[in-house]
Amino acid sequence: MTAMPTPAAAESADVRIEDEHIEIARKRFNEAKRAERNLGWMLVAPAVVIMLAVTAYPVLYAIWLSLNKADLRRPNDNHFIWFSNYITVLSSPIWWTAFGVTTLITVVSAALELALGMILAIIMHRTLVGRGLVRTSALVPYAIVTVVAAFSWRFAWTQDLGWLSHGDSAPLTQFWPSIGIIILAEVWKTVPFMALLLMAGLALVPEDLLKAASMDGATAWKRFWMVTVPLIKPAILVALLFRTLDAFRVFDNIFILTSGANHTSSVSMVTYSNLIRGLNLGIGSAMSVLIFITTGIIAFAFIKLFGAAAPGADAGGRR
Amino acid sequence: MQPATTQRKLIWWGINILVLLYAFVPVFWLLSLSLKDAATLNDGKYFPTSPTGDSYKAIFKNDDFVHSLINSIGICLISTLVAIVVGTMAAYAIARLQFPGKAAILAMALLVSMFPQIALVTPLFKIETAIHLFDTWPGLIIPYITFALPLAIYTLSAFFREIPWDLEKAAKMDGATPYQAFRQVITPLAMPGVFTTAILVFIACWNDFLFALSLTSTSRARTVPAAMSYFTGATTFEKPTGPIAAAAIVITIPIVLFVLVFQRRIVAGLTSGAVKG
């Protein structure tokens, strides 16, 4: 520029330069953002691919198999039969007995685990002495292999052999005692997990609030129901949801304790029997799909009815 | 809180002992069964009167058991290693980077963790038979990794959110190269979380029974929990109590040691995904 620029021209030049700077900055920002996005996708890709390949594809395959006659003993007779497998399963008393047994075990053990887990959580949270000792030993049932614990209970109630069996009684050969022992084994194993989730909730209850309630004359019982429970409701719901879904898949304990004798099979047990003993993939897949749907309904009911944290809201711990 | 009087302490000790009994009675019962000799095995007593190591000698002479123990250890270690590497990458991205689709990935991980495994057994059985993965190590490792990933991603991302990442920037300003900053500042902070997650994943794999039972047929890949259910005694209907109890104790010892040594970390790991975040 030769002449002195007019103020207006200088201003517009400044604005232009500023615009350019903003433009460059925006470009850099966008590039950084794109790089971050690409890095993010690259890092999660392996996990996503594995989870999709091992769950989504087999589920679709199971749905396809469930609509076919697929009996490994008659491999040449496979063909598309629409919903016949579902009709066979849903009109079978074996399926409905197993469904009833599974529901009973799920509801009773989830309820017991919540009550006992809460007690254990309070003990671990409040104990004045040996806190490390209590927390360590409470982890033992969680860490022990389910099959190992199941054998322990089975031997304990085996006639002559067991320390819990008396005289001629053989509880694992009768329906109701078997169900009771299965529930006991489930509850023994999972109370610690429940207690840990609840204890994490208890740690978030402000001590001052409890003290204030106590000064207002609330008894310990009242403080628990009026202060603690409402505050840890999210922790309770998450713990219950996970345990309900987990209990619905009950398999290991029943397999070892009764092998499904005397109508004690769960839905997982009958599906397994159809596959391994019956080699009937069509029927087995139909059962798999029905279990999958039931699990979905349970999760949906928890989220809708009780307002448990929705998936993706970072609420879930482990399975 | 009232001061801790002697009486209150005694009451708490009483309660603590109840918790100890609850946790250990079934475990010690197996231990005592594994130590009983043939003559006193069926006496129905809780404690062994003449302890012997015969059952342990018997199972370590049994090829099926030794194979299954090697399978268990190998399969669980490989699954844990892969799940931790893949999970760490994903958890780092979820905890630190902004990118679309994050919520969908977390939702997917949650769905997988709620998935009824039995629904996979039928299709996986068919697929693995077709591609010759049935009854092999990879045939078990692949489903184990899949079900370990949600646990790894949730636990690790909760741990990673707690790391003061600004330290990395500070180290770089002090002249550290990006690699040095990562290696000497971030890695030591991240290791405890990674290690804790590895223990949780290992325990989950070690515990599996359904896949081990359905996707194997010989001692080539069968793990200990499945092998235990196939131990046979003098007749098909009689279960060999002593050897089963001994095998149970053998696979319980490493887990109990983990718990005793890393109690604090395991508690932190199990609760981190559920509360924080």
Question: What tens-digit pLDDT sequence spans chain B (277 residues)?
Answer: 555 688 888 999 999 999 999 999 999 999 998 998 877 787 778 888 888 888 898 889 888 899 999 999 999 999 999 999 999 999 989 988 888 888 888 888 888 887 788 888 888 888 898 999 999 999 999 999 999 999 999 889 888 888 888 888 888 888 888 778 778 888 888 888 899 899 989 999 999 999 999 899 888 999 999 998 888 655 555 668 888 999 999 999 988 888 888 888 888 888 775 543 3
Give contacts of A 227-256 with B, CB under 8 A.
235, 238-239, 242, 245, 248-249, 251-252, 255-256
Q: How far is A76 from chain B (nearest CA, A)?
A: 16
Q: How far is B175 from chain A (nearest CA, A)?
A: 23
Q: Considering only A164-168, A277-281, A306-310, B81-85, which range has the smallest mean pLDDT?
A: A306-310
Residues in chain B within 8 Å Cβ distance of A235: 274-275
Confidence of residue A314 (pLDDT cuts 50, 70, 90): very low
Residues in chain B within 8 Å Cβ distance of A143: 203, 255-256, 258-259, 266
Task: Provide DSSP, A206-267.
Answer: -HHHHHHHHHTT--HHHHIIIIIHHHTHHHHHHHHHHHHHHHHT--HHHHHHTTTGGGT--H
Cβ of B248 within 8 Å of Cβ of A151? The answer is yes
Cβ of A133 within 8 Å of Cβ of B228? The answer is no
What residues contact residue A58 under an 8 Å CB cut-off, 6+ apart?
B120, B123, B124, B127
Q: How far is B251 from chain A (nearest CA, A)?
A: 8
Q: Is B125 helix (H, G, I), strand (E, B) or coil?
A: helix
Residues in chain B within 8 Å Cβ distance of A41: 93, 99, 101
Over its C-alpha atoms, chain A yields an Rg (Å, rounded) of 29
What is the count of residue pairs from A and B with beta carbons less than 8 Å apart? 323
Helix (H) / strand (E) element for B70: namely: helix B63-96
Burial of A78 (0-12, 13-18, 19+ CB in 10 A): middle
Cβ of B112 within 8 Å of Cβ of A156? The answer is no
Q: Considering only A5-9, A50-54, A74-78, which range has the smallest mean pLDDT?
A: A5-9
Averaged over A254-280, what is the pLDDT? 87
Give contacts of A 72-131 with B, CB under 8 A.
120, 123, 127-130
Most A CBs within 10 A among B118, B141, B160, B215, hence the mutation to make, goes to B118
Let me know the angle formed at the C-alpha of A155 by A153 and A160, rounded to the nearest 5 degrees: 135
Q: Does A68 touch chain B (CB under 8 A)?
A: no
Cβ of B119 within 8 Å of Cβ of A136? The answer is no
The model carries a pTM of 0.87
> Do the Cβ atoms of A265 and A287 come closer than 8 Å?
no
Cβ of B127 within 8 Å of Cβ of A55? The answer is no
pLDDT at A5: 56
Most B CBs within 10 A among A36, A37, A51, A272, hence the mutation to make, goes to A51
Give contacts of A 204-223 with B, CB under 8 A.
204
Higher pLDDT, A100 or B117: A100
Cβ of B19 within 8 Å of Cβ of A138? The answer is yes
DSSP-assigned letter for residue A280? B
Q: Is A105 helix (H, G, I), strand (E, B) or coil?
A: helix
pLDDT at A3: 53
What residues contact residue A199 under an 8 Å CB cut-off, 6+ apart?
A121, A124, A125, B271
Cβ of A143 within 8 Å of Cβ of B259? The answer is yes
> Do the Cβ atoms of A65 and A281 come closer than 8 Å?
yes
pLDDT at A313: 43
Closest to A184 in 3D by CA, of A254, A125, A81? A254
